[in-house]
Amino acid sequence: MSGLISDYNIVTNTYISEDTGASQTLAQWRTQTGKETHSFIATAAQLFTSAAANNYTLLATSPAINAGDPSFTPPPFYDQRGPNYVRVYDGQIDIGSFEVQPSPHSTPRPTPTPRSRPIPAPRP
């Protein structure tokens, strides 16, 4: 595991060795490796709008919000949605590929105001 850097992740409570198939908890993994100091356990229901529908935007109450590595500096400058969505919003990166932030505002287009037209008087 030399060179492995792993922290600020959201995980399940079971780590399984690819070599032996043995499993251990997050606490055991931390004790054994010294890794995942800031990582925590959460479920998809706690994190995402609707994982079942492949909607992985974070819930407003998601523990992933502002829980990423505070020393992160871009690049990337944007989250996976592109240039309208900055990668760090509100001072600290969120864990995951979506950064919670207000939707980008488009320039409003003026809409004409309906006007009543005078009705011509009948001709005699």
Token pair of 1 as six digits: 């595991």
What's the average pLDDT block by block, 10 residues per block, for the chain (124 residues)?
88 91 94 94 96 94 96 93 92 94 67 62 70
Inter-residue contact 55 to 49 (CB < 8 Å): yes
- List, in order, residues 6 or more apart from 99 with CB less than 8 Å away: 79, 85, 86, 87, 88, 89, 93
pLDDT score of 41: 97
Q: pTM above 0.85?
A: no
Of residues 92, 74, 73, the one with CA closest to residue 83: 74
Residue 50 phi/psi, 5° resolution?
-165, 85
pLDDT score of 17: 87
